[in-house]
Amino acid sequence: DQQVKQNSPSLSVQEGRISILNCDYTNSMFDYFLWYKKYPAEGPTFLISISSIKDKNEDGRFTVFLNKSAKHLSLHIVPSQPGDSAVYFCAASAEGGSEKLVFGKGTKLTVNP
């Protein structure tokens, strides 16, 4: 039973364009959501998060949108850069982030120069 789903295993975009990565969840107890970025041979690194009391959080080129009614969140990267090429994991947690993280399978983003 996958509680966090990333249905696109890969995404390819041109440098300078927008990258949109999607994530769906099924557990209504989740109230804190995170995006992690992972390069090969490294551990996941925290990118951006959002609490369920918000519907948008922005940090530089990265924006996360949360649609609670649809149990859907998305990560927008604008403009995309070749260095953004990595695997992006969506993760969710209950109890405001103090509970364990449940991860999606990841989406491999390739930004072409």
Partner 1 sequence: EAGVAQSPRYKIIEKRQSVAFWCNPISGHATLYWYQQILGQGPKLLIQFQNNGVVDDSQLPKDRFSAERLKGVDSTLKIQPAKLEDSAVYLCASSLRDGYGYTFGSGTRLTVV
Choice from 45, 51, 67, 112 touching partner 1 (CB under 8 A): 45
Does residue 54 sit in helix, strand or coil? coil
Q: 11 or 101: whose CB is closer to partner 1?
A: 101
Binding string to partner 1 for residues 68 to 97, with x set by CB under 8 A, is what?
---------------------x-x-x--xx
Which candidate, 75, 63, 84, 62, places its Cα nearest to that of 104? 75
Strand partners for 59: 62
- Tokens 């990333």: give the residue: 6
Which candidate, 107, 100, 104, 106, places its Cα nearest to that of 2? 104
Binding string to partner 1 for residues 20 to 39, with x set by CB under 8 A, is what?
------------x-x-x---
Binding site for partner 1 (CB under 8 A): 4, 6, 9, 32, 34, 36, 41-46, 89, 91, 93, 96-106
